[in-house]
Chains A and B, each alone.
Chain A
Amino acid sequence: MKEVILIAIGSAIVNNVVLSQFLGLCPFLGVSKKVNTAAGMGVAVIFVITIASFITSVLDVVILQKFDLVYLRTIVFILVIAALVQFVEMFMKKSMPPLYNALGIYLPLITTNCAVLGVALNNVQYGYGIGVSTINGFATAVGFTIAIVIMAGIREKIEYNNIPKPFQGSAIVLVTSGLMAIAFMGFSGVI
């Protein structure tokens, strides 16, 4: 139990998916203008990454490892994830309209495909089982949500600042991310 908690804290905060692994940068920069939308995006990412980690891990343990096909991981994972994101959207639209209305607009934007695939690959690389993989996926996505919500909060304030012209737009956001990354590096002593 203790190890699982450490893995979760490690993925959520210490090795933050955006700020130290650079995965999911596109939505991090694109959907972080307002706290509300950033939080919506965060919840959608948690939803998708948790399901994706579970499914890719089940496939890996039940099929790929059992039949000695681990070399097919990259191909299988990317196709499963691509299909899954689309399927989740269709399923939500038909059977969970309230949830779809809240998160639907973010699902096609789950440009986090690189984060989703990154988490799945991390899970197999560290040899996590199905349960730990799912928790690790959830924790990683929570880390993404923490980062994007903080970023959105800062950006709402940056709006009113006087920024040199070449730095307006994504440049100042990247400088801010760099400063956040320094702050998050401080957590490396936690585990």
Chain B
Amino acid sequence: MSIETTPLWEVFIRSRNGLNHKHVGSLHAADSNLAVQSARDVYTRREEGNSIWVVRSDQIIASDPDRSGENFEPAADKIYRHPSFYDIPDDVGHM
């Protein structure tokens, strides 16, 4: 069965200036103008934001979950990247 589909878009909202746009969900729209307008109607009905990004879902390149190990685990033991790794006397004050 073939069904005509309308493209899927991911929606990102910035809740206020100073914050990142954050992924909030998705919707269907034939083109980018309608996608932005629908995002406004669907995802900002309660003053959730002041800026909208929409990105076609099929345009997003995601990292491969099968490679999560090689991508992300090597960072786990690099404790010297964190301030708590370094011992400094308390009376030096905040650093």
On whether the two chains bind one another, the answer is no
| A contacts, CB < 8 Å to B | none
